[in-house]
Structure 1
Amino acid sequence: MARLPRLTLAGYPHHILQRGNNQQAIFSSVADYQTLLALLEENARKFGVALHAYVLMGNHFHLLATPASADGLPQMMQAVGRRYVRYFNDSQGRTGTLWEGRYRSTLIEAERYLLPCMAYIDLSPVRAGVAGDPKDYPWSSHGHYAGLRADRLVTPHPLFWALGNTPFGREVAYAELVREGISSAQHDALTRSVLGGWVLGGEGFVADVQKRTERRVQKNRAGRPPGRPVPR
């Protein structure tokens, strides 16, 4: 089956996943994490991508970002990916690929899924058992939103600003949102959509996105295609 073309549209939030080849580690030191963050900051600004949330795990990373142009996100990811592989290979004395093919991404409907996606990203270290609480994990954007540190890489989405009228109010509201977590249905939907590249949102949102691209945006439902009579 032909590989589904990646879909990127300006002005929409995208959930992005990049994994290490064969689940291999993509970080071996504090300097590695710092280098990837620096590359993300540099190239997000260069290519006009607002990075709302991130988490760097041992063998993969997640991003939540809105590009100002359709080319911005792929240009950013290409630049970051190539430069980080060169850096990592040089520092480790290795050659060859580091990534598991191309990065995966999907558009999400902001009103339904942006804040749950941020919580999904923040809770990754907890799910993996490497941190008991998101605030204890240093390589994510959670600390910025919880008021623990200022992160120049992060550009908050308007839906985060709507959580409160003051910085403290927003921090408390967001920390509570993450503490409550997301439902298993939300978790599964976010995982399936980013792995499959299918647009995540309500029917109206999906239909609107479909009008903007010739690429199929939702997985076909099982069963007979609509409009064909059932044989008797």
Structure 2
Amino acid sequence: MPRKPRVEYAGAVYHVMSRGNRLQKIFRGDADCAMFLTTLGEVCQRTGWRVHAYTLLGNHYHLLLETPEPNLVVGMQWVQSTYTKRFNARHRERGHLFQGRYKAIPVEAGSGYFSTLATYIHLNPVRIRGYDFDKQRLVDYAWSSYPAYVGKAAQPEWLNFHRVLSELGMADTPAGRRKYAGYMAGRVEEVRHSAQPWKADEAWQRIRRGWHMGGEEFRQELLERVGGALKNARRQSFSGGEVQAHDEACAEQWIAKGLKALGITEAELAGLRMNGPEKIALAWLVRRNTSMRTTWIKARLGMGTATCFAAFLKKLEEARKGDWGHDAWRAVRSIQ
């Protein structure tokens, strides 16, 4: 089954999330939560990881995780397999505990992305259906890093406050933590009065559905890293939003090369016939050098439904001097 490529590099930050197999509980009580945090602390000691925020919630968990060394994969393999063994031993069970592969979304450090994710993770308990805003307090949810942030629980050695607080303009001091508590109280009220609590912040949809969290420059850097990962393995082995974005970027590069070879601009391309030889030549170039689907190629080049798409490609390849499409074919066929 195709899988998402793992992007690893020194200093990378990730939003990591994993669920129980068939949505079963991976934390059946306080003892399981404590055992997971012990395991998390051990992997941080082994790998040098820094955790900036976490929440454990019944059938899943969230981490805001920094890896000073490019060791996400080996560390996650250890922590999930070790916790599974300990969970199964404790409950006298066997088999898989987690649902498939964990999700690890690269995060740009800076420009508000770091603190946005920490807020999202810390607010998870109040977005649970049935949460009583009048009787429950966020700080009373023990299995989150939030109580430690505001001085109501001990801070583990592997938990770091500074980057989240500093991005919000707050110091890692008692006064700064009080300011953070006030900030979070305001965010809880936003969730409370929202008709759709999971959408109280427009950035949360990107967190839930996107393949990265950051700006355009960061996205381009990640696409280059994804390209490096794909070079060392079979392309068919991977899928996901980051792979689609990488493939589209590659296709755009080939289209730009083709337009230059044909001597036309994007504006001129839009004005050509849907099955014009120039568009067919560009389609051939993209099909030959990328994994983009025909539907994307047709839409990108403004080719309509193009029901005879394959026939036109074949006609182009067989064109001789003086035939339809020969000039366009000659212009693009040797592009490297």
State the shift of 1:14 in Å. Answer: 0.5
Q: How does 1:47-126 map to 2 (within 5 A)?
A: 47-71=47-71, 73-111=72-110, 112-126=112-126
Partner AA of 2:58 in structure 1? G
SS at match of 2:39: helix
Aligned equivalent of 1:177, options 169, 180, 183: 183
Partner AA of 2:93 in structure 1? R
State the shift of 1:110 in Å. Answer: 2.2
SS at match of 2:65: strand
Distance 1:13 1:172 in 2: 26
Q: Does the aligned pair in 1 maintain the 2:10–2:67 contact within 8 Å?
A: yes
State the shift of 1:166 in Å. Answer: 5.6
Q: Does the aligned pair in 1 maintain the 2:171–2:177 contact within 8 Å?
A: no
State the shift of 1:57 in Å. Answer: 0.7
- Larger-gyration structure (1/2): 2
Q: In terms of mean alpha carbon deviation, does 208-217 or 170-179 score higher? A: 208-217
SS at match of 2:303: coil
Partner AA of 1:179 in structure 2? A
State the shift of 1:176 in Å. Answer: 3.0
Distance change in 2, residues 1:189/1:176 (3 Å): farther
SS at match of 1:96: coil
Deviations 1:97-154, CA, capped at 9 Å, x for gaps: 1100121111112223111111111111111145733211000000111121222131
Q: How does 1:200-215 map to 2 (within 5 A)?
A: 200-214=213-227, 215=229
Distance change in 2, residues 1:114/1:37 (3 Å): same
Residue 141 of structure 2 corresponds to which residue in structure 1?
137
Distance change in 2, residues 1:125/1:74 (3 Å): same
Aligned-pair identity (%) = 31
Q: Does the aligned pair in 1 maintain the 2:18–2:60 contact within 8 Å?
A: yes
Number of residues paired by the alignment? 225
State the shift of 1:43 in Å. Answer: 0.9
Partner AA of 2:77 in structure 1? Q
Residue 147 of structure 1 corresponds to which residue in structure 2?
151
RMSD: 2.4
Aligned equivalent of 2:163, options 155, 158, 165: 158
Residue 302 of structure 2 corresponds to which residue in structure 1?
230
Q: In terms of mean alpha carbon deviation, does 130-139 or 176-185 score higher? A: 176-185
Distance change in 2, residues 1:137/1:207 (3 Å): same
Distance 1:218 1:108 in 2: 17
State the shift of 1:51 in Å. Answer: 0.7
Q: Does the aligned pair in 2 maintain the 1:10–1:66 contact within 8 Å?
A: no
Distance 1:21 1:191 in 2: 19
State the shift of 1:157 in Å. Answer: 4.3
Distance change in 2, residues 1:38/1:166 (3 Å): closer
User: Relative to total residues, which structure has the larger helix share, 1 or 2?
Assistant: 2
Partner AA of 1:105 in structure 2? A
Deviations 1:169-204, CA, capped at 9 Å, x for gaps: 3212322332333843211111113xxxx1221112
TM-score (norm 2): 0.61
Residue 242 of structure 2 corresponds to which residue in structure 1?
217
State the shift of 1:220 in Å. Answer: 3.8
Q: Give the 4+ runs in structure 1 shifted more than 4 A.
A: none
SS at match of 1:64: strand
Distance 2:172 2:162 in 1: 15
SS at match of 1:107: strand
Distance 1:13 1:219 in 2: 22
Distance 2:91 2:242 in 1: 39
Distance change in 2, residues 1:186/1:180 (3 Å): farther
TM-score (norm 1): 0.86
Q: Does the aligned pair in 2 maintain the 1:7–1:106 contact within 8 Å?
A: no
